[in-house]
Structure 1
Amino acid sequence: MAKGGGHNDKLDLFKCIAIYGVVLAHIPLPGQFGWALCALAKFSVVLFFLTAGYFSYEKSPAVLARRAAKTGWLLLITSAALLLFGCVLAIRQGQTVEAYLQSRMDVFFLKEIVFNQLLPLPYSWPMWYLASQFVVYLLWLVMAWIAKKLGKSLPYNLLALLAVALLAYHMYHVEWQLLMGQTPWESKLVRNAWLDGFPFFALGAWFGRHKEWICRLPEKALWIGAGLCIGLAMVEFSLVDVIDVLLGTTLLAIVLMAIALVNPVVKSDLLRRTACFCGRDLTFYIYVLHVPLYGIVQEWQGEVAAFAWLMERRWVTTPLIAALSTLLAVVFYQLAQWRRGLRTKRS
């Protein structure tokens, strides 16, 4: 089988849609329509994990180590920035920085470390996707290293079966419990590397393993399937409201992944220069930027009249945060390119 990887414009386009879906999920538009979009946007993170797994198929431990280091560094920097922001808020609210840091630095809280990301970093919870991705990369790195030492390939089919079992376990403790009128598990017990990250990552690697077979699927039937998945997600939303993982949105992300493999071409030059570029190079930046931007507006709305005005008008807030995140993402991307160019000249 061919290795998973290679340039895929259609997947980049879907990732662009997905990153703004993440913004919609975090900052819902007002009214029932806004919550319906929020529920549908839950496909976004699934697609990101699927993509990460797909591009990790048959990758060497060295490549996986670099990806883990990059994700971990981004998580550390973002968590530190959010911690600094929290210190500023604490001072403005009359709290000492020492007291605030002590409240955030309980590194020996075992349940937090094991169940919520395996990380004691303050503010790793708002950045749960990055934390989960970091942990999954480390886990995949260890498995790939062991497989290399044994001279074997990873058991992708077995890992995919394990992924499906973990997803079923997740859905049983959340969506099924809600359907039965029971109390579901709280988000922090399921929105983590074990029940949200690894399963989708493993399924993405399975896509890489079976790429040739998937590419023979009929594209029109897949698009019909995507429409049916949207319908299923809306039915689920009407029954259980907004939850982290809906069966419909999960299947939607899987179908979109298959569509991108069947037909990776985006014919529009404009889309390739804008949306595909965004999906390929800006998604991580937009993800880590929109959280603190919205946090500033939310936390200081009582002191800044403009922020209070924005919080009362979600139709303005959501696209504004998305636009600001995108502009800052472009700035950070250009800075990264500039630094890379300097390193190339020096070498």
Structure 2
Amino acid sequence: MSKPLHITLITETYAPEINGVANTLSNLCEGLRLRGHRVEVIRPRQREDESRACGEDLMLCRGWPIPGYPGLQWGQSSVHKLLHRWQRDRPDVLYIATEGPLGLSALRAARRLRIAIVSGFHTNFQQYSHQYGLGVVSLLLTSYLRWFHNRSNATLVPSISQKTNLARRGFERLELLSRGVDCQLFNPCRRSNFLRENWGLEPGDIAILHVGRLAPEKNLGLLKTTFDNLVAAYPAKKFRLVIVGDGPVRAMLQQQLPDAIFCGPQRGDTLATHYASGDLFLFPSMTGTFDNVVLEALACGLGVVAYDQAAAAQHISHGHNGAVAMPGDQEGFIDAARWMLEDDETLRRVRLNARQHASRQGWAGVIETLECYLRAASETRDGTVLGV
């Protein structure tokens, strides 16, 4: 039997913060611990941590808010604290999940101590800056991210398309680590007629759902365009647009979509109930590395419409368990949504197939794969870190 590992996770976001990275890391940590490994977490202090003390497996540092993203923060640079901590209690391997000041501190300290590093590419920061019209910043960020990740023993990416994209840009030692979904939590049986009635829906009406961060890079203008097109295409049907999440463009969306229902951020059972109470799920983003919400929507048996990339490319077979359009093809996206609602049987069949597919995408296999990557890195000779 293999020896348990001492794994240190460094991240600038973690549960109960509401985002895909925090959700993924929480599942990975819990899974590794259940497999007998010691997992130490190093992250910024959150509002819920006011009276919480650091311990053997938790180090909290100061966080700095990210402008325009309330609730998200960078971690304070802490090279000397990390050196002192790891000289006293050396981990077998690091998993650096974010590339901010805290992640950079961990990279530098680990290289100095010759501790093996596995990094995770969780967020397309370089694409976000491009969406904001900051092309030069995007190039600089790409260079920094390439430099950062090429100094780890391996960089884990969540999708095949992401792996191909980064390899073209000079990222090295890329490995695939997909994502899972909790199919007991995200389950069609959580559908709530009471919630649907609160949304103003009767049996046979269509709840069109979107879940995610409400930010400029998420291409949310397409929600209104698609919704308006569906209303015009199917005048005999009653639709309600339901938006779950929060972010910097929420107020603008509420002005553009006065009849939509904005539910704010949800988590746990309540989030799962919101998913399961929908019918059609629209996800127009083109900047995510994986998009956990796509897999959660499939698990709840929704008809998912998305662009053919990231999670959708891996998990949706067009016309079978969802519908996809080529990235950037706005008309194709709208056509895919229209096709889904052509008749009741199409949507019913797609939703059944969606749940069936998602039920095979649990976290256990993902965590086992991560364990293999971490163990391989920890066994490099003398803890040598590549990418010098």
Q: TM-score of the superposition, structure 2-length normalised?
A: 0.24
Greater share of helix: 1
Higher relative contact order (CA 8 A, sep 6+): 1
Greater share of strand: 2
Q: Which has the larger radius of gyration?
A: 2
Q: TM-score of the superposition, structure 1-length normalised?
A: 0.26
